[in-house]
Amino acid sequence: MLKRVSLSSLDELYSDVPEDCKFKGEFDLPSAMSEQQLREYFERLAAKNPKSKVFVGQGAYDHYCPSVIPYLCSRSEFLTAYTPYQCEISQGTLRYIFEYQTMICNLTGLDVSNASLYDGATAAVEAVRMCVACTRKRNKVLLSDGLLPNVIETIATYAKWEGTELEIIPCEAGETSRTALLEALDGTVAGVLLPGTNRFGIVEDHSGLADAIHQAGALFVEYCDPSTLAVIKTPAEWGADIAVGDGQSLGIPLSYGGPYVGFMACRNEYMRKMPGRIVGQTQDAQGRRAFVLTLQAREQHIRREKATSNICSNQSLMALWITVYLSLMGPEGLEDVNNLSYQAAHGLKDALLKTGLFEDPYPGKPFIKEFVLKPLCDVQKLHAALDKAGIFAAWPDKEGNVSFCATENRSSEDIRALIDVVNSLK
Amino acid sequence: MKYYDKLIFELSKEGRSACTLPLPDRKLELPETLRRSSKAVLPQVSEADVVRHYTNLSQMNFGVDTGFYPLGSCTMKYNPKINEEVASLPGFRDVHPLQPGAKGYEQLYEEMDKALASITGMAHFTFLPCAGAHGELTGLMLMRSYHESRGDFKRKRIIVPDSAHGTNPASAALCGLEVVVVKSGENGLVDVESLKPLLGDDLAGIMLTNPNTLGLFERDIKAIAELVHSCGGLLYYDGANMNALMGVVRPGDMGFDILHLNLHKTFSTPHGGGGPGSGPVGVCNKLVSLLPTVRTSAFHGNAGVILKAYAYILMLGKENIAKLGKLACLNANYIKEELKDCYKLPIDTVCKHEFVFDGLEGANTLDVAKRLLDYGYHAPTIYFPLLFHQAIMIEPTETESKETLDDFIAVMRKIACEAKENPELLHSAPHNTPVSRPDETLAARQPVLKWQSQ
């Protein structure tokens, strides 16, 4: 091969590289491992991680993942394909994205979904940017303090450089303060970002807010947990213009935070301001149904610095993951996930209150699987005891409360074990 | 590949379900105002329906495991299977991102940081970015943070070559920077003379990929680095083309201050039909303290992808990493030399891991690409970079054998003959794929973006 390219050594392939750019040292890397050694190495590494029963949510939920999903998602035709640029040999990818878009629209009640974003936090960033792009000469976005702290932090990181002004709307009794929100809504506000289910686990009541937000000329974005949308009022029903969130709660393993998948849906009128890939239906030369990437005039490879976003690769395989999950679950199955989580979480909360070591800071507020309690015991001791028992629970928040979460993956034995630990502190 | 025309919704039958969860003893109670008014429309299908449906869909797809994938700038190398296996070990899969004491993951991030620092010549990395473009934006935020941390608030311009990936200017614009385009010279390289007038004390920096998107090494990189540094700017390295330099040249040694890597390209993690990727950002010493200030995703980035990339590095080891770039470049030069008599090669010189033809005499590049699909190949990247009207960008990677390259070369030559003898054959291609060319205009004019029951 070298002869064919008229060279006498591999080094000559770099004859155009100045000598002082070349690396002449030795790489500070381990020696090559065989497959056997590699497997052993990673098994040992994995064993160093805790194997706890997880009772924390905060944006990453331990829901059950049916065995079918990893089997299908590891099919190499899906796994080893690139972005579906050559549509004639990518109909598999394009079809499941179309199905994914349909499911996201049906869960949120909104008209259009894109093909996925990185995670919930970056989906929220894109929604903030869309609000500014869709309103004229407005540059301020209101964020509820009920949003997850890492979502707010991510939005703030981007907003600083994009020049977007942010204002945090405080919470009152476990929900975004209506009074504070209405007061902050003025002619400079481009959008309002509210949680469907907030960081306290409380399902917020957004009645009437859409009208107020729209009257002020702003867009209403809801950040939601898609699993709960099987039962709670949809962003569309609340009158939201855009819905975003993380698809992780739809059967994606915790995996230390990723890969997950950000989703976004919006009303038809904002379709052309959406970031990212979108798949559309059309027909081929023989009139057969076919699918393509469409509305690409919004995207970076066409518009360069004028694109709606810089996103290129997204989280396509994880979109397949939740598409398969939702197909397996169906409408009834997803409702049962919520029923079972509700049952586990309400059982847990009642039992924790019964220990006398906690108080309910937001009594009577509706929740599904996640809630916060005010600890009356020493939190450090609590964490130490839980850790010893192999339980990850009681995530502290900035109000001094601790958060718990229980899904259908937590059995009554798991819950009993947690309660036993708490009782041991008495 | 055979055509299969179902959508999962069309298999739905009322009351069918593949959910195996136990029935709840207690139903959720929520005030009526908080409840959804009607059930979500989701498929109602059996497990067998789901498995068959997605298996059928997968068979209309082409991946690296199916065949040769010479997609320029995308580095579609083989994805080792052991990496998938180790990354899905329960000890990694079931760890909550907020859980303290995840020692296995902490060690992974530490070792990966050290490995990438050694490979690239940077000091440290952040692993939050989930893709290349995400890395670019994170890197540019670090660039602006650096200037502002020194009380220098006027640096709002960034230089981007006309041959750059589309994400470069898009990322820069989102970061509040004004994009200034520097034109490539006749030789396809950044022209140092046209760069000089663009410098100034309002310059944040320059974004470069080296080798550039023509597969050519920017040989004046040291001079460029000196010019940009001397006016106070920083150099950003777009790691999309890092495969060319693996083991031979380190961006840090060329003078770059910030870079991102595409673990889903250079480090063999599968692209998944458009992600998940991972775009870790590395910086030189003077920017290290700024790394924690930039939170661009929710938790720790795509941990699962980082695991696979680290497995890839460990299996190569220090002995083999130096061979990667050389073999990738050899494969690209080999195809180029074998085909340059029938495809137009605008810049005839030693290329790196990829090169660009300016089409085929008498044929459209799109037709050539579509005809390749008939022969069982993925098409190269086409109509990019924008410098040539009929661009065909070929990147074979190092994981392909000479035999695979020879077969591909033979097919490219055959297509060149067909273009002369029977141009209609190309024009109406592909003929052997599940669908023929879809009507893209129809898709954009009358958008149908979700399934609706008839």
CATH of the domain at B108: 3.40.640.10
Question: Does the CB of A36 have a partner CB in chain B at under 8 Å?
Answer: no
Give a yes or no: residue B76 inside a domain.
no
Quickly tell me which residue has 């040769």 as its tokens: B68
Domain-wise residue ranges, chain A? 53-65+330-424, 68-323
- Do residue B91 and residue A51 have CB atoms under 8 angstroms apart? yes
| The CATH fold of domain A53-65+330-424 | Aspartate Aminotransferase, domain 1 (3.90.1150)
Which residue in B364, B270, B282, B254 sits closest to A315, CA to CA?
B270
Among A232-246, A286-300, B115-129, B426-440, which stretch is predicted with the lowest mean pLDDT? A286-300
**Residue B34 to chain A, least CA–CA distance (Å):** 5
Give a yes or no: residue B373 inside a domain.
yes
Question: For residue B66, which residues of chain A lie inside 8 Å, CB to CB?
Answer: 76-77, 80
- Residue A303's pLDDT is what? 83
Mutate to test the interface with A, among B107, B110, B378, B435 (most CBs of A within 10 A): B435
- Do residue A233 and residue B50 have CB atoms under 8 angstroms apart? no
Give a yes or no: residue B346 inside a domain.
yes
Question: For residue B264, which residues of chain A lie inside 8 Å, CB to CB?
Answer: 313
Question: For residue B321, which residues of chain A lie inside 8 Å, CB to CB?
Answer: 27, 29
pLDDT range class, residue B424, cuts 50, 70, 90:
very high
Question: For residue A323, which residues of chain B lie inside 8 Å, CB to CB?
Answer: 8
Per-residue pLDDT of B29-63, as tens digits, reads 999 999 999 999 999 999 999 999 999 999 999 99
Nearest CB neighbour to A256, from listed B217, B272, B300: B300
Question: Does the CB of A320 have a partner CB in chain B at under 8 Å?
Answer: yes
> How many angstroms separate the CA atoms of B262 and B132, rounded?
5
Which residue in A347, A325, A329 sits closest to A410, CA to CA?
A347
**Residue B235 to chain A, least CA–CA distance (Å):** 15
CATH assignment of the domain containing B414: 3.90.1150.10
Q: Give kind and range of the element (H or E) at residue B235.
A: strand B234-239
Residue type (1 letter), B89: L
Query: In whole angstroms, what separates CA B271 from the centre of its chain?
Result: 8
**B261 shares a domain with B373:** no
Quickly tell me which residue has 């990322």 as its tokens: B171
Number of cross-chain residue pairs from A and B with Cβ atoms under 8 Å apart: 639
Question: Does the CB of B82 have a partner CB in chain A at under 8 Å?
Answer: yes
Give a yes or no: residue B284 inside a domain.
yes
- Residue B101's pLDDT is what? 95
Question: For residue A157, which residues of chain B lie inside 8 Å, CB to CB?
Answer: 141, 294-296
- Residue A302's pLDDT is what? 81
In terms of Cβ atoms closer than 10 Å to its own Cβ (0-12, 13-18, 19+), residue B16 is middle
Is residue A276 within 8 A of residue A115, CB to CB? The reply is yes
Question: For residue B176, which residues of chain A lie inside 8 Å, CB to CB?
Answer: 161-163
Domain of B372, in residue numbers: 324-440
At residue A197's C-alpha, the angle toward residues B21 and A325, to 5°, is 35
Both structure tokens of B77: 């190398």
Give a yes or no: residue B233 inside a domain.
yes
Total structural domains in chain B? 3
- Do residue B105 and residue A304 have CB atoms under 8 angstroms apart? no
**B15 shares a domain with B95:** no
User: Least CA distance to A306: which residue of chain B?
Assistant: B170
- Do residue B333 and residue A13 have CB atoms under 8 angstroms apart? yes
Q: Measured on CA atoms in the order A225, A294, B208, B119, is the torsion positive or negative? A: positive
Give a yes or no: residue B374 inside a domain.
yes
Query: In whole angstroms, what separates CA A267 from the centre of its chain?
Result: 20
Both structure tokens of B155: 């640096």
Task: Enter the DSSP assignment of B371.
Answer: H
**Residue B304 to chain A, least CA–CA distance (Å):** 6
Nearest CB neighbour to A233, from listed B34, B62, B132: B34
Nearest CB neighbour to A318, from listed B53, B174, B276: B276
Question: Does the CB of B55 have a partner CB in chain A at under 8 Å?
Answer: yes
> How many angstroms separate the CA atoms of A84 and A336, rounded?
35
Question: Does the CB of B417 have a partner CB in chain A at under 8 Å?
Answer: no
Of B259, B292, B315, which residue sits at a domain end? B315
**Residue A356 to chain B, least CA–CA distance (Å):** 25
**B251 shares a domain with B161:** yes
- Residue A307's pLDDT is what? 85
ipTM: 0.97
Residues 318-377, chain B, touching A (beta carbon < 8 A): 318-322, 326-327, 329-331, 333-334, 336-338, 349-350, 352, 369-370, 373
Question: Does the CB of B59 have a partner CB in chain A at under 8 Å?
Answer: yes
Give a yes or no: residue B20 inside a domain.
yes
First to last CA, chain A: 77
**B120 shares a domain with B245:** yes
**B91 shares a domain with B180:** yes
Of B289, B315, B341, which residue sits at a domain end? B315
What's the rounded mean pLDDT across residues B335-351?
96
- Residues in chain A predicted with pLDDT less than 70, given as ranges, are none
Per-residue pLDDT at B88 exceeds 90? yes
> How many angstroms separate the CA atoms of B302 and B299, rounded?
9
CATH tag, A68-323:
3.40.640.10
**B163 shares a domain with B105:** yes
**B336 shares a domain with B423:** yes
Question: Does the CB of B384 have a partner CB in chain A at under 8 Å?
Answer: yes
Which residue in B208, B214, B246 sits closest to B227, CA to CA?
B208
> How many angstroms separate the CA atoms of A322 and A318, rounded?
6
Question: For residue B267, which residues of chain A lie inside 8 Å, CB to CB?
Answer: none
Nearest CB neighbour to B108, from listed A45, A335, A337: A45
Per-residue pLDDT of B361-383, as tens digits, reads 989 999 999 999 999 999 999 99
Q: How many CA atoms, within 13 angstroms, populate the side-chain half-sphere of residue B227? A: 18
For residue B295, give every residue at least 6 positions away whose Cβ sits within 8 Å of its Cβ, in sequence order, or none. Answer: A150, A153, A154, A157, B128
Of B265, B280, B315, which residue sits at a domain end? B315
Per-residue pLDDT at B454 exceeds 80? no
**B395 shares a domain with B431:** yes
- Do residue B304 and residue A54 have CB atoms under 8 angstroms apart? no
- Do residue A229 and residue B62 have CB atoms under 8 angstroms apart? no
